[in-house]
Amino acid sequence: MGLPNYKNDYITEQDYLDDEKDSEIKHEYVDGEIFVMTGAKKNHQRLIMTLASAWHLHLKDTPCEVFSSDVKVRADNGKKYFYPDILVACENDDKDDYYAEFPRIIVEVLSDSTRKYDKTFKRQVYQTIPTLEEYVLIEQDRVEIEVCRRANAWQSMFYFIDDEITFTSIDLTLSVLDIYQRVENNEMRTFLATLSSEKSDS
């Protein structure tokens, strides 16, 4: 599935949850097996922090809360647990301090090692969560954001450097450029250099 297997023996949902509370390494849980979560690049973290901060400010006076990286999502009646890069959970989601069952929007920042896993397997599982309205996939090595919405039959919409995105599930519009504002990749370097040159010529 794209992630290294940590343990081949079957583990129950409750044993996984109990062990995970004391573990120094994060693991995802799929049908009785657990998988190690690996580290991430700085661009990965920059995207998470920028987007999570904007969402947090927008939702501060609402019942919805933003969580990043360390809060799990419970799916498939407890047969699967994932650590999304960002999730927004709203009302009726206080059953457990360590996971959310009713996310409204989920974000995964893609890497070479997880792209296929996030765009196929995780997408299929996330879309079975009844409360989920949007699934967002963000590239870190180029400027591209894919948004799949339940209201659009989960069809993919793609957004690029000059676009704005409306996250309909939380009623917030952001520019793609603002989301990538601190990211260092070739596309952003070229864009910023062009912008600087145009300002100098004006």
State residue 93's pLDDT score.
Answer: 66
Please write the tens of the pLDDT for every residue from 44-97: 999 999 999 999 999 999 999 999 989 999 999 999 999 999 999 987 766 788
Q: Please state, in angstroms and rounded to a whole number, the distance separating the CA atoms of residues 78 and 29.
A: 9
Asked if 128 contacts 99 with a C-beta cutoff of 8 angstroms, the reply is: no
The pLDDT confidence band at residue 197, using thresholds 50, 70 and 90, is confident
Q: Among positive and negative, which fits the CA dihedral 136, 173, 155, 103?
A: positive
Please write the tens of the pLDDT for every residue from 115-157: 999 999 999 999 999 999 999 999 999 999 999 999 999 999 9
Best CA proximity match to 78, nearest among 125, 124, 119, 42: 125
The pLDDT confidence band at residue 2, using thresholds 50, 70 and 90, is very low
Q: Please state, in angstroms and rounded to a whole number, the distance separating the CA atoms of residues 200 and 118.
A: 41
Structure tokens at 202: 């004006």
Q: Which residues contact 162 (CB under 8 A, 6 or more apart)?
A: 176, 177
Q: Please state, in angstroms and rounded to a whole number, the distance separating the CA atoms of residues 181 and 177.
A: 6
Instruction: Report the predicted TM-score, pTM, of the whole model to 2 decimal places.
Output: 0.91
H or E segment and range at residue 200: helix 186-201
The pLDDT confidence band at residue 176, using thresholds 50, 70 and 90, is very high
- Tell me the average pLDDT across 153-168: 98
Domains of the chain by start residue, with CATH? 40-196 (3.90.1570.10)
- Tell me the average pLDDT across 155-172: 97
Residue 196 CB: number of other CB atoms within 10 A? 10
Q: Which residues contact 68 (CB under 8 A, 6 or more apart)?
A: 48, 49, 52, 85, 86, 87
Structure tokens at 167: 């996250």
DSSP 3-state assignment of 162?
Answer: coil
State residue 194's pLDDT score.
Answer: 86
